[in-house]
C-alpha cells in the first residue's frame, strides 16, 4: 500500500473522529441521525480495518468487502436526510420527488429484469464486486440527480448544513462512480490510480462535511407569513380574475 494512501487513511479517521465527537457534544448528531449513523459506521469500519491490516491481514480483504457494502447501503441515509430536512417542508415538491424517484426505480428495475432476456447473453468478465458496487452507485447517483433537480426546479432554500451534506456526498458519489467505471473499462491496471483517487475524494468530502456541520444551522423554510394570509386570499381571487380577463385578451389577440 502506498504511503499516500496511509496518510489519507489516518487523516480520514482523525476527521471522522472529530466530526462524530463534535456532533455528539453540540447536538448536531440528533438533527442529522441518518448521516451520523453512516459516518459512525465508516469510522468504526476504518478503525477495525486498520487494525486488521496491521495485525490480521487475512481478515482485511473480507472486512473491506463487507464494510464497503454496508456503507453503500447506509449511504442512502444521506438521501433520507435531504428528504427529511429539505423536501418534507414542501409537500408538493416532496410528492413530485417521490413520484419521480419511484418512476426512476421502476425504470431501472424493469431494465434490469428485461435486459438479460433480450441481450446476447455473453457473460461479463468484469469482477462481480465492482459491477454490483457500480450499479448500486449509479442508481444512487440518478436518484440524487433527481432530488437536486426538484430542489432547483422548485427553488427550495438550503441551509449551510444540508448544502454541505449534499456537496460532500455528491463529490464522493461522482468520484467513486467515475473511478469504478474506469476500473471496469480499463481493467486491473487502473487499480493503482483507484486506490489513491477513491480515498482522496472521500477525504475531500470529509473536509466539506467538517466545515458545513461544525455547528447546527436550521434549514430555512420559505414561508407565507400569517399577516399575508388575508392578502393572499385576496391575491388568489384577484389572480383568478386577472387570468380570466387575460385569456379573453389573448384569445382575441391570437386571432389574425
Partner 1 sequence: MISPMIQLILTFLVVVGVFVALYFLSRRSQPAGGSESLLEGRAALDALQRELLPPEMLDRIFSKADHEYVSQDASAAVRELFLKERRKIALSWAHELREQILSLRRFHLGSARFYARLSVRTEIKLALQFLSLLFLCQILRGLFFVRGAYGAPRVVGYAVAASARICSISENAMSFLKAGELDSPSENPERTPMLL
Task: Print the binding letters for residues 155-194 with partner 1: x by CB under 8 A, - otherwise.
Answer: xxxx----x--xx--xx-xx--xx--xx-xx---------
48: part of which helix (H) or strand (E)? helix 33-55
> Per CB under 8 A, does 67 bind partner 1?
no
Q: Describe the crossing of helices 3-26 and 191-212 by its angle, rounded to 10 degrees.
A: 20
To 5 degrees, how large is the angle CA 46–CA 48–CA 50? 65
Give min distance, CB of 60 to partner 1, in A. 28
> Per CB under 8 A, does 60 bind partner 1?
no
To 5 degrees, how large is the angle CA 241–CA 245–CA 247? 115
User: What is the distance between the alpha carbons of residues 64 and 6, in angstroms, rounded to a whole number?
Assistant: 15
Task: Print the binding letters for residues 82-101 with partner 1: x by CB under 8 A, - otherwise.
Answer: -------xxxxx-xx--xx-
Beta carbon nearer to partner 1, 65 or 240: 240
Give min distance, CB of 168 to partner 1, in A. 10
189-195, Cβ contacts within 8 angstroms, sequence gap of 24 or more: 195/1, 195/2, 195/5
How many C-beta atoms surround the C-beta of residue 208 within 10 A? 20
Give min distance, CB of 127 to partner 1, in A. 13
* Residues numbered 215-234 forming contacts with partner 1, rule: CB under 8 A: 220-226, 228-230, 232-234
Residues 6+ apart with CB under 8 A from 17: 43
Beta carbon nearer to partner 1, 45 or 201: 201
Give min distance, CB of 154 to partner 1, in A. 4
User: What is the distance between the alpha carbons of residues 4 and 78, in angstroms, rounded to a whole number?
Assistant: 28
* Residues numbered 127-146 forming contacts with partner 1, rule: CB under 8 A: 134, 138, 141-142, 144-145
Beta carbon nearer to partner 1, 107 or 245: 245
Amino acid at each position: 500500500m502506498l504511503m499516500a494512501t496511509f496518510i489519507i487513511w489516518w487523516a480520514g479517521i482523525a476527521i471522522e473522529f472529530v466530526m462524530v465527537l463534535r456532533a455528539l457534544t453540540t447536538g448536531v448528531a440528533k438533527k442529522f441521525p441518518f448521516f451520523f449513523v453512516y459516518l459512525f459506521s465508516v469510522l468504526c469500519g476504518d478503525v477495525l480495518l486498520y487494525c486488521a491490516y496491521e495485525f490480521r491481514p487475512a481478515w482485511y480483504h473480507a472486512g473491506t468487502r463487507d464494510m464497503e457494502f454496508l456503507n453503500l447501503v447506509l449511504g442512502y441515509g444521506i438521501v433520507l436526510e435531504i428528504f427529511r430536512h429539505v423536501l418534507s417542508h414542501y409537500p408538493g415538491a416532496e410528492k413530485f420527488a417521490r413520484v419521480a424517484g419511484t418512476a426512476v426505480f421502476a425504470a431501472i428495475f424493469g431494465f434490469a429484469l428485461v435486459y438479460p432476456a433480450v441481450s446476447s447473453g455473453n457473460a461479463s468478465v468484469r469482477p462481480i464486486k465492482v459491477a454490483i458496487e457500480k450499479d448500486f452507485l449509479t442508481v444512487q447517483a440518478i436518484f440524487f440527480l433527481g432530488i437536486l433537480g426538484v430542489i432547483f426546479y422548485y427553488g427550495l432554500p438550503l441551509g449551510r448544513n444540508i448544502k454541505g451534506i449534499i456537496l460532500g456526498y455528491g463529490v464522493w458519489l461522482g468520484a467513486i462512480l467515475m473511478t469504478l467505471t474506469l476500473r471496469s473499462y480499463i481493467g486491473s491496471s487502473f487499480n493503482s490510480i483507484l486506490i489513491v483517487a477513491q480515498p482522496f475524494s472521500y477525504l475531500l468530502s470529509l473536509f466539506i462535511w467538517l466545515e458545513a456541520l461544525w455547528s447546527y444551522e436550521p434549514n430555512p423554510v420559505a414561508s407565507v407569513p400569517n399577516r399575508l394570509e388575508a392578502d393572499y386570499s385576496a391575491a388568489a381571487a384577484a389572480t383568478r380574475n386577472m387570468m380570466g380577463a387575460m385569456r379573453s385578451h389573448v384569445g382575441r389577440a391570437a386571432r389574425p
